[in-house]
Amino acid sequence: MTFTCPSNLYASVFETSKQCRENSNIKIDREAITQFLTELNQESWSKHSVSNGMSFPLRFESLEQEVNFLSLIDLLNTGHGFRKELHEDSDRGAFETIVFGVMSFHISNTLTTAEGLSHLTAWEIGGHFGIEMQKDMPSELEHVTLSKPSVASKLAGQIQGVLNETGRILKQKGFVNLGAFVIDAAKKAQGSAETFSEILINTFPAFQDCGEVDGRTVYIFKKALLLASSLERRFAATNSIFAFKNIKESPIFADNVIPTMMVHLGILVLPDSLKHTMEEGGVTSVEESYRLRAGAIDGCREIVEEANRTGESKVGTVDYGEKGMLNVDLDVYLWRVAKEPQYRKVPRFACKDTIFF
* Statement: residue 145 has pLDDT above 80: no
pLDDT in tens, 189-198: 999 999 999 9
Rounded Cα–Cα distance for residues 30 and 299 (Å) = 9
Measuring CA to CA, which residue among 262, 252, 258 is closest to residue 35? 262
Burial of residue 161 (number of CB atoms within 10 Å: 0-12, 13-18, 19+): middle
pLDDT tens, 332-341? 999 999 999 9
Q: Which residues contact 135 (CB under 8 A, 6 or more apart)?
A: 147, 148, 149, 150
- 345 has a pLDDT exceeding 90: no
Helix 94-107 and helix 83-90, axial crossing angle in degrees, nearest 10: 60
pLDDT tens digits, one per residue of 97-143: 999 999 999 999 888 999 999 999 999 999 999 999 998 777 676 76
Contact (CB, 8 A) for 67 and 346 = no
Mean of the per-residue pLDDT values of the chain: 95
CB atoms within 10 A of CB 47: 12
Is the predicted pLDDT of residue 163 greater than 90, yes or no? yes
* Percent of the chain at pLDDT exceeding 90: 89
The pLDDT value recorded for residue 169 is 99
Q: Provide the 10 A C-beta neighbour count for residue 145.
A: 11
Residues making up the chain, counted from first to last: 357
pLDDT grade, residue 72 (50/70/90)? very high
Report the alpha-carbon distance of residue 66 to residue 56 in Å, rounded: 9
